[in-house]
Amino acid sequence: MAPDLTLHQRRRAPTPSELASVPWLGHLTASERAEVQGAITVSDALPGDHVCRVGRAATYWFGVVEGLLKMSADNEQGNSMTFTGVPSGGWFGEGTVMKRETYRYNIQALRASVVAGLPVHHFHWLLDHSIGFNRFVMNQLNERLGQFIAAREIDRLNNPEIRVARSLAILFNPVLYPGVGEILRITQQELAYLVGLSRQRVNMALNTLQAEQLIRTEYGGLRVLDLARLRRFGLPNA
- Contact by Cβ (8 Å): 49, 7: yes
Read off the pLDDT of each residue in 20-49 and give the average, rounded to a whole number: 96
Share of the chain above pLDDT 90, in %: 64
The closest of 177, 174, 175, 157 to 166, measured between CA atoms, is 157
pLDDT at 238 over 60: no
Distances (CA, A) of 155 to 40, 75, 128, 198: 35, 14, 37, 15
pLDDT at 160: 87
| Topology given in CATH for the domain delimited by 158-232 | Arc Repressor Mutant, subunit A (1.10.10)
pTM here is 0.86
Beta strands 221-224; 60-66: pairing state: unpaired
**44 or 163: whose pLDDT is higher?**
44
- The ranges assigned to domains in the chain are 16-151, 158-232
pLDDT at 152: 66
pLDDT at 76: 64
pLDDT interval class at 72 (50, 70, 90): confident
Average per-residue pLDDT for the chain? 89
- Contact by Cβ (8 Å): 113, 45: yes
**81 or 98: whose pLDDT is higher?**
98
The closest of 152, 167, 175 to 215, measured between CA atoms, is 167
Read off the pLDDT of each residue in 207-226 and give the average, rounded to a whole number: 92
pLDDT at 127 over 90: yes
Q: Per residue in 159-184, pLDDT tens?
A: 889 889 988 988 998 889 988 887 89
**146 or 194: whose pLDDT is higher?**
194
pLDDT at 74: 75
Nearest-5° Cα angle at 173, 206 to 168: 15
Q: Per residue in 138-164, pLDDT tens?
A: 999 988 887 777 666 666 667 889 889
Domain 16-151 in CATH: superfamily? Jelly Rolls (2.60.120.10)
Read off the pLDDT of each residue in 123-138 and give the average, rounded to a whole number: 97
**74 or 106: whose pLDDT is higher?**
106
* Lowest model confidence (mean pLDDT) among 87-96, 149-158, 225-234: 149-158
pLDDT at 79: 67
SS3 138: helix
- CA–CA dist 109, 66 (Å, integer): 11
